Amino acid sequence: MSGDTLTRRVRKNSAFWLQCLLGLALLALVVLVFRTTQSNLELLGVQSGFDFLWKKAGFSISQHLIPYTEDSPIWTALAVAILNTLLLAVFCVLLASILGLAVGIGRLSSNWLVARLSLAYLELFRNIPVLLQIFFWYYVALRALPSFESSIFITDYLVLNNRGLYFPFIEFGNGFSISPPVMGRFAYEGGFYLMPEFLALWIGLSLYNGSYISEIVRSGFQSVARGQWEAGAALGLKPAAVLRRVAFPQALRAILPPLTTVYMNMFKATSLAAAIAYPEIVSVFVGTVNNLAGRPVEVMAVTLAFYAGVSFLVAWLMGRWNKRITLRGQ
Amino acid sequence: MESWRAMAACVLVLAPAVFPADEAGADTLSDVLDRGKLRCAVIEASPGFSSIDANGRRYGFDIDNCRTVAAAVLGDADAIEYVPINPNTAFTTLQSGGADVFPGGATWTFLRDTSLGLDYTGAYLYAGQGFVVRRASGVSSISELEGATICVAQGTTNEQNLADYFRARRMKYSIVTFADVERGLNAYLADRCDAFTTEVFSLAGRIVALRNPDEHRILGEVISKEPFSGLVRQGDPRWRDIVFWAFNSRVAAEEFGLTMSNVEGIRASTEDAEIRRFLGVEGGFGQQLGLSDEWAYQIVAQVGNYGEVFARHFEPLGLQRGLNALWRDGGLMIAMPYR
Amino acid sequence: MGSELKTPSARQGLQCRVTTLGWLRQNLFSSWWNSAVSAVLLVLLAMLTARLFQWLIIDAQWAGSEPSACADTSSLCWPFIRARWRQFLYGLYPSEQVWRVNLGLAVGALLGVALAVRRMPARRWVAAFLLVAYPPLAWWLFRGGAGGLAPVETSLWGGFFLTLVVTGSVFWVSLLAGVLLALGRQSRLALVSQACTVWIEFWRAVPVLVLLFVVIIMLPLFLPANMEIDRLGRAMLAFAILMSTYLAEAVRGGLQSLSVGQFEAARALGLNWRQSRLYVVLPQALSVALPQITSNFIGLFKETTVLLVIGLFDLMGEVQRAASDPQWLGTGTTAAGYIFVAVFFWTACFSLSRASSRLERRMTRYRAAVYRP
């Protein structure tokens, strides 16, 4: 008996020392990398520090949700880029969720054609790299749109051409007025518009991730016990009502955790914008600012911090939502 | 217990590494000599500057710049490992030691020279930033581009020149920035933009190479000076000297009247003291740089003089010498003397 | 959308023999609403098929192999694929050395096929060879520079070949690293498990493209001046960092599914930590995690296309590069190139995921048979 405690103590002790050593080794590695980087940067004469964020940017960004000119400081350019990233991410989450929900429910349809087409959508879009899909929309599909002289008028107020999708002006000046986009010398002017780069990313990312969401939705609904559907029907609810009132809330429990993962993947995939010309954070910061400011370490650190920050925030929020809808006692 | 020992060994191995005694400066020349190959950063697919033929061989003005340095340093113009880069990774690739020299397409500016940890090695090509528009648009000068959408490559001086020029004239425009010149131009060709801007040499090269060059028009004006220079890492003065004098040698060769075909004969027969020093017949100039004495001879014999290189790559594109003619012909090209 | 939903087990209902007409009535026209949906969809489908057929085949240009064959830049240009075929397969790999690529890939494929044959004699040895000896040998064959083979710079690698090399090498490294990370995260040593957790959670939040930029640009700054990794190596390192954290999570799922009894039984048999992990825990955990692992493999395969952004030319990068040739430039060329790549990836990913689910079903049956009380 005492021998047993002895071994346990020795083992515990050795575990303690092992961890000490490991900690030391890790620390040593971090110090080593830090020192090497420092000496490399010194050797190269590269300046360091975050003061560049307050310098004048001197470049223009085509889409900015907040006021921005070439005279604005670089941190404003960063804010513009972050907002552009988030705008794209929110649009993608919305469209992909709608698509995923529709197709996921379509998979369960009793109509053979609907079920098969839903499956075809899933298999088609899931098995093609998302970058290729984005390129297809950007370089092939959107390029086929007419030039601005012969734009497509979806309505008088919504104009589509190879320069983007133009929305009407909404003015709140004296009273409230909506006026259609106006044709200028080179393009439609004024009002808000979505650039083709945005459209390509939006469509590409949504279709790709929508396929994953549809699969999650399908298996979520299938995880709802058969008795629940029958019970709903027995209560005299219409199938649509059973779906909405009975099955959906239960399916949500199975859907939410994997859905979080897909949302996160989609958010991360917005960085593919750097491959076409949408000014989100990777494109503006790693592309333009890095070359202007010559501070690779700082620029990368800001970019990584942004992605890590948003990811942890989303994980935390979805975790809380998940906790709220989880059955007590489960 | 085994893991114990392993850990201890790990720490022992790591400990000296944490406090490295290595404070030696960079020595690019000996790295290159050891490697037997020059690592030269090139931008891919830039007609006139850097292209790849059907057999996978690279050719172009930038490529000949790489070959110039390789000929001087290694005596073999083809001992090169090409490092393909984008404009937006060019500087960091060089800073971080991914390449020994970046000889192409980098405009010499104050901020880049002072803040990037890089050294310029002397201007070897003078260009300016120009615009191309579709003939059908009827635009004939830059001032008519008010309100236009303009495509440009990211992280280049072009992006900033454009902003400065339009802002100074209070002209509205919208900009679409692409990762490189090629994608930007392709977007313009697909009518994503009304105009595309980059420096005129590469612009002309790219437009000429199109299937329907007549549909486009390069505007007569330029909005900037773009002196191109080679780039090397800062902190290695000898290597900078080598690259500078290698480029200088091509201009000198043109001044001396040396060409690829006559250089061997002239080396054997010339009485001119400067040419003799230049070609390494006397004076031991190569050794001053840490190179073989026939360094400049190798450049002329394998790559040619400046005029030959220019003619080889830019004349087929219809470009004139202009500012890049020798000083005695009214241009800016002047070789520093060999004495 | 159909008005009635199949309940989860409806398809397990009785199977009856039905006539075509009956089948149609039951599955497409069971109610007026269903009929309307089916009719609209059928019409749309027919229109779409006709348009696609027109675009892909009738209007497309087929003959020739020169840029002049595609004078009309807006219709699909198939000769482009024919003209650039070699570049799509091998990139700029020197043509007189291409046999090395073919040989290496053929051996790999043969080994893979041999492994898939269930009654293969010495299957274990084939697997061991494929996992241990083949990767370094193949790498040597492709890269050369020793043993009488001319060196071929990795900057010349490209196309289909590069896609396979990157996917294979990264997966090979990541699987090992992922297993270690997963075991580390489950370790009783608090420091080890904390360190692994932080590492995994941090990298999971980072997009692959950003990490690629970080590694391409910054790695040389982190390393001592005399240590160098070429561009391809750096890109693969970036992929491996991410892939190993994904695989670690997959393997952790497998580990968590094991009952405590397994660990206790291993200890009761007198196995030490390494033996118990190697002979008892990992084989089970990996087999449980197999579907996750294969789906990560497929993800990696698709993700290699991102390489083109940092100037490496995988299959898609080569297509992009070839389509930018001013002589070929045009929407029809680009579209043909993309369709070619899409068909390739689709076929590969679809068959992989099918094979994976078949394997999964077989293993479930196997487990059910073995563990039946």
Q: Verify that A3 and A141 share a domain, yes or no.
A: no
Instruction: Report if residue A273 sits inside a domain.
Output: yes
Tell me the CA distances in angstroms from B230 to B105, B113, B241, C22, C340, one per residue in order. Answer: 8, 12, 11, 78, 40
Residues A19-52 pLDDT 10s: 888 889 889 988 988 888 888 777 666 777 888 8
Q: Are the C-beta atoms of B311 and B228 separated by less than 8 Å?
A: no
Residues A275-326 pLDDT 10s: 888 999 999 998 888 878 878 889 999 999 999 999 889 888 888 888 887 7
Does any CB of chain A come closer than 8 Å to the CB of residue B43? Answer: no
Q: Which single residue is written with the structure tokens 């330029």? A: B222
Which of A19, A126, A297 is the closest to C190 by Cβ? A19
Q: Are the C-beta atoms of A188 and A166 separated by less than 8 Å?
A: yes
Confidence of residue B10 (pLDDT cuts 50, 70, 90): very low
Q: Is the pLDDT of residue B30 over 60?
A: yes
CA distance A239 to B112: 67
Lowest mean pLDDT among B114-118, C47-51, C86-90, C308-312: B114-118
Q: Are the C-beta atoms of B15 and A28 separated by less than 8 Å?
A: yes
Instruction: Report if residue B293 sits inside a domain.
Output: yes
Q: Which of A20, A92, A135 to mutate against chain C (most C CBs within 10 Å)?
A: A135
Which of A18, A140, A269 is the closest to C334 by Cβ? A140
Token digits of residue C291: 């579907």
Q: Is the pLDDT of residue A230 over 70?
A: yes
Mean pLDDT over C53-78 rounds to 86
* Domain, as residue range, for B179: 129-224
Domain end marker among B176, B209, B224: B224
Range 202-241 of B in CB contact (< 8 A) with A: 233-235
Residue in B closest to A34 by C-alpha: B18
Instruction: Report if residue B270 sits inside a domain.
Output: yes
Which of B52, B96, B183 is the closest to C220 by Cβ? B96
Instruction: Report if residue A164 sits inside a domain.
Output: no
Residues C198-247 pLDDT 10s: 999 999 999 999 999 988 888 877 877 666 778 899 999 999 999 999 99
**pLDDT value of residue A253:** 87
This complex has an ipTM of: 0.88
Q: Does the distance separating the beta carbons of C316 and A26 come in below 8 Å?
A: no
CATH number at residue B218: 3.40.190.10
**pLDDT value of residue B17:** 43
Residue type, B29: L
* Domain, as residue range, for A10: 1-45
What is the nearest CA distance from B82 to chain C, expressed in angstroms?
Answer: 7
Q: Verify that B54 and B96 share a domain, yes or no.
A: yes
Of the spans B175-179, C241-245, C273-277, which averages the highest pLDDT?
Answer: C241-245
CA distance B247 to B121: 9
- List of chain A residues whose C-beta atoms are within 8 Å of the C-beta of residue B20: 35-36, 39
Q: Verify that B113 and B235 share a domain, yes or no.
A: yes
CA distance B94 to B67: 18
Residue in B closest to A164 by C-alpha: B192
Mean pLDDT over B151-179 rounds to 88
Residues A97-156 pLDDT 10s: 999 999 999 998 888 899 999 999 999 999 999 999 999 999 888 888 888 777 888 777
Does any CB of chain C come closer than 8 Å to the CB of residue A243? Answer: yes
Q: Verify that B244 and B117 share a domain, yes or no.
A: yes
* Domain C152-302 CATH superfamily: MetI-like (1.10.3720.10)
Mean pLDDT over B63-77 rounds to 95
Q: Verify that B96 and B159 share a domain, yes or no.
A: no
Show me where the domains of chain C are located: 152-302
CA distance C97 to C87: 14
Q: Verify that B169 and B284 share a domain, yes or no.
A: no
- List of chain B residues whose C-beta atoms are within 8 Å of the C-beta of residue A294: 91, 95, 112, 115-117
Q: Verify that B251 and B103 share a domain, yes or no.
A: yes
CATH number at residue A280: 1.10.3720.10
Total domains in chain B come to 2
For residue B115, the SS3 value is: helix
Q: Is the pLDDT of residue C147 over 70?
A: yes
**pLDDT value of residue C319:** 92
Does any CB of chain B come closer than 8 Å to the CB of residue C332? Answer: no
What is the nearest CA distance from C331 to chain A, expressed in angstroms?
Answer: 6
Token digits of residue C83: 């003209």
CA distance A308 to A304: 6
Q: Verify that A140 and A207 share a domain, yes or no.
A: yes
Mean pLDDT over C34-53 rounds to 92
Does any CB of chain B come closer than 8 Å to the CB of residue C311? Answer: yes
Beta strands in chain A (DSSP E): 152-155, 158-161, 164-166, 169-171, 177-179, 182-183, 188-189, 193-194
Q: Does the distance separating the beta carbons of C8 and A271 come in below 8 Å?
A: no
Q: Verify that A88 and A205 share a domain, yes or no.
A: yes
Instruction: Report if residue B334 sits inside a domain.
Output: no
Instruction: Report if residue B339 sits inside a domain.
Output: no
Q: Is the pLDDT of residue B14 over 80?
A: no
Q: Which helix (H) or strand (E) holds A308?
A: helix A296-325
Total domains in chain A come to 2
Q: Verify that B236 and B319 share a domain, yes or no.
A: yes
Q: Is the pLDDT of residue C10 over 70?
A: no
Q: Are the C-beta atoms of B278 and B325 separated by less than 8 Å?
A: no
Mean pLDDT over B258-281 rounds to 92
Q: Is the pLDDT of residue A1 over 70?
A: no
Mean pLDDT over C64-71 rounds to 82
CA distance B67 to B251: 15
Q: Verify that A133 and A229 share a domain, yes or no.
A: yes
CA distance A188 to A185: 8
Chains that touch B (3 or more CB pairs under 8 A): A, C
For residue C59, the SS3 value is: coil
Which of A43, A147, A294 is the closest to B25 by Cβ? A43
Residues B284-333 pLDDT 10s: 899 989 999 999 999 999 999 999 999 999 888 878 888 899 999 999 99
Say which residue, C324 or A97, is predicted with more confidence.
A97
**Contact pairs from chain A to chain C, CB under 8 Å:** 188
Q: Verify that B121 and B170 share a domain, yes or no.
A: no
- List of chain C residues whose C-beta atoms are within 8 Å of the C-beta of residue A15: 188-189
Residues 6+ apart with CB under 8 A from C34: A110, A111, C2, C3, C4, C28
- List of chain A residues whose C-beta atoms are within 8 Å of the C-beta of residue C4: 109-110, 239
Confidence of residue C2 (pLDDT cuts 50, 70, 90): very low
| Surface-to-core class of residue C98, CB atoms within 10 Å of its CB (0-12 exposed, 13-18 middle, 19+ buried) | middle
